[in-house]
């Protein structure tokens, strides 16, 4: 891309970039100078918010509270570690996308190893997503259960089919802007409500003790509920599926297009560094949001549900979970919990399906089923996968009807994929990333440490599982 390509100041007007039909293609007119002020940067964040909308869902509302209900405060360190350790991998995947313009699957497809059309990591991702459809099915079931409590005359099955139709109507043909706006609404509503309930919990001595919280920060793997703990590590914070998703939202937001094609000039380096900085702020803001929300859910599960001796399971999941509000805010908050649960679970269905359909369409492109610049075919494949990724989870729920077990199973699949993503990201960092845009030494060290910790935890889980067989 030439140096005289038009550029604009993003601080002056955050909507200056021209609308492009295909967000995956570079065009000279798309180049935008990165914002330099904090207000300008904050106007440009968004991919992380969509990710937070996906994250604050079944993992937090169901799996995290279930772990707290099973183990009390003893597994608190797992929650904190899960939320804080994985953003460094997320940031390096985003850095590679901005520097290269490649999507998440396209970048990881460079990793050496067995391949059939695409490499082993891409196929592993495709299989993992099939398992995470159990989580989406659980969320369809959770939303339907809440609506059935509100309007008992309408069966759960009918509500599931209603939300299936709603999802298809919202997502088919839906562009990035629509998804980002709905994600922001979802993230704001239930996060604030749950944080309020957690603050009230701290002032409830029969359910909360600072001594137990401090004990929960000590390194201790629970003997019971280990599979739930590993599942929670896999899906709280940035889960494996979200790590694959993030580069796609960076592309559709425009970070790579605004930077332009790498041409070795100082102008490109300045723009790339600037948009990577915007991406880091995006990741940091979203990390604060989902970490606070996740800790709130866990403390409520450990304090309220563990104290009451109740663990969410099967068809009583929503009534049991509602205690995290009613026992802190009062009986009046039951309806508030129902509303929040609908927003939280359905928002995750929406955000996850939107991202996975894009990635699956990209998989088809990598396999040569359509040309890279054929956006119409990309959208057609995306819409086909939207249909598949909503109908199959509904069928799974109607077959199993156990949301908690479905979430845990999907979480375990994500957890086992985390070491693969860590290794793939290390390869991109050391073999594919341009030297002029490489991270500092301490960031590289953190990337290695995060990957090693993830491999260690997953190896421990496999050993324990094998011993029990």
Domain presence at residue 457: no
**Could you report the per-residue pLDDT of 166-207, keeping only the tens digit for each?**
899 888 866 667 677 767 776 666 667 677 777 777 777 777
Residue 441 CB neighbours (<10 A): 8
Which among 100, 91, 385, 113 has a CA at the least distance from the CA of 242?
91
- State how far the Cα of 198 lies from the Cα of 365, in Å rounded to an integer: 45
Q: How far is CA 90 from CA 241, 282, 323, in A?
A: 11, 11, 34
6, part of any domain: no
Give pLDDT, residue 223. Answer: 60
Q: Does residue 418 form part of some domain?
A: yes
Low-confidence ranges of the chain (pLDDT < 50): 1-20
Report residue 91 CA to chain centroid gap. 13
Phi, psi at residue 33, to the nearest 5°?
Answer: -65, 135
User: What residues have CB less than 8 Å from 336, skipping those under 6 apart?
Assistant: 193, 325, 329
Q: Name the E strands within 49-144.
A: 115-116, 118-119
Residue 87 and residue 280 in contact, taking contact as beta carbons nearer than 8 Å: no
Instruction: Evaluate whether residue 331 is within a structural domain.
Output: yes
Of 14, 21, 40, 69, the closest CA to residue 309 belongs to 69
Q: What pLDDT is attached to residue 17?
A: 41
Looking at residue 337, its pLDDT comes to 80
- Given this model, what pLDDT does residue 15 score? 41
pLDDT tens digits along 296-333: 888 888 888 888 888 776 566 778 888 877 887 788 88
58, 212 contact by CB (below 8 A): no
Which residues constitute the domain of residue 81?
A: 28-439
Domain harbouring 120, CATH code? 1.10.4160
Question: Could you tell me the sign of the dihedral formed by the alpha carbons of 97, 98, 99, 102, in that order?
Answer: positive
Asked if the structure places residue 23 within a domain, the reply is no
Pick the closest to residue 28 from 15, 14, 17 (CA basis). Answer: 17
Task: Kindly write down the DSSP assignment for every residue of 223-292, as one continuous string.
Answer: SSSHHHHHHHHHHSSS-HHHHHHHHHHHHHHTHHHHH-S--S-HHHHHHHHHHHHHHHHHHHHHHHHHHH
Q: Please answer whether residues 148 and 141 qualify as being in contact, where contact means their C-beta atoms are separated by less than 8 angstroms.
A: no
Q: What is the count of structural domains for the chain?
A: 1
* Rounded distance between C-alpha atoms, residue 274 and residue 278, angstroms: 6
Q: Long-range CB contacts (< 8 A, 24+ apart) of 125-128?
A: 125/244, 125/359, 125/417, 126/360, 126/363, 128/240, 128/241, 128/413, 128/414, 128/416, 128/417
In a domain, 114, yes or no: yes
The reply to whether 371 falls in a domain is yes
Nearby residues of 82 by Cβ (< 8 Å), 6 or more positions away: 232, 233, 236, 237, 294
pLDDT of res. 258:
95
Model pLDDT, residue 12: 42
458 assigned to some structural domain:
no
Q: Residue 304 has what DSSP assignment?
A: I
């Amino acid at each position: 891309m030439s140096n005289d390509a038009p550029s604009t100041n993003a601080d002056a007007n955050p909507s200056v970039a021209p609308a492009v039909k295909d967000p995956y293609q570079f065009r000279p007119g798309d180049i935008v100078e990165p914002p330099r002020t904090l207000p300008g940067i904050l106007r440009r964040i968004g991919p992380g918010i969509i990710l937070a909308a996906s994250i604050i869902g079944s993992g937090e509302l169901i799996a995290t509270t279930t772990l707290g209900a099973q183990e009390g405060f003893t597994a608190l360190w797992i929650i904190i570690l899960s939320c804080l350790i994985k953003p460094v991998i997320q940031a390096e995947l985003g850095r590679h996308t901005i520097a290269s313009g490649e999507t998440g699957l396209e970048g990881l497809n460079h990793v050496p190893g067995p391949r059939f059309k695409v490499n082993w990591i891409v196929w592993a991702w495709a299989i993992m997503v099939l398992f995470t459809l159990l989580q989406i099915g659980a969320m369809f079931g959770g939303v339907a259960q809440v609506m059935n409590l509100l309007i008992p005359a309408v069966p759960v099955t009918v509500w599931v089919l209603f939300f299936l139709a709603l999802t298809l109507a919202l997502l088919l043909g839906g562009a990035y802007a629509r998804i980002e706006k709905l994600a922001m609404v979802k993230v704001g509503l239930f996060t604030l409500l749950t944080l309020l309930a957690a603050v009230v919990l701290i002032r409830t001595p029969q359910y909360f003790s600072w001594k137990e919280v401090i004990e929960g920060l000590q390194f201790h793997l629970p003997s019971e509920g280990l599979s739930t703990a590993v599942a929670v590590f896999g899906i709280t914070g940035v889960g494996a599926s979200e790590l694959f998703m993030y580069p796609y939202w960076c592309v559709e937001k425009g970070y790579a297009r605004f930077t332009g094609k790498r041409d070795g000039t100082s102008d490109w380096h300045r723009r790339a560094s600037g948009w990577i900085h915007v991406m880091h702020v995006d990741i940091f803001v979203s990390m604060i949001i989902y970490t606070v929300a996740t800790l709130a859910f866990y403390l409520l599960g450990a304090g309220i549900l563990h104290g009451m001796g109740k663990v969410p399971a099967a068809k009583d999941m929503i009534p049991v979970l509602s205690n995290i509000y009613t026992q802190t805010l009062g009986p009046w908050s039951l309806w508030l919990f129902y509303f929040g649960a609908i927003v939280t679970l359905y928002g995750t269905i929406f955000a996850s399906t939107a991202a996975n359909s894009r990635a699956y369409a990209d998989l088809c492109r990598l396999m040569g089923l359509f040309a890279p610049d054929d956006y119409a075919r990309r959208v057609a494949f995306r819409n086909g996968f939207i249909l598949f990724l909503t109908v199959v989870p509904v069928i799974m729920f109607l077959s199993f009807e156990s949301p908690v077990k479905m979430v845990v199973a999907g979480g375990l699949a994500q957890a086992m994929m985390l070491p693969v993503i860590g290794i793939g990201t290390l390869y991109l960092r050391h073999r594919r990333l341009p030297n002029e845009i490489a991270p500092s030494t301490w960031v590289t060290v953190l990337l290695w440490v995060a990957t090693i910790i993830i491999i260690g935890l997953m190896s421990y889980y496999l050993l324990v599982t094998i011993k029990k067989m």
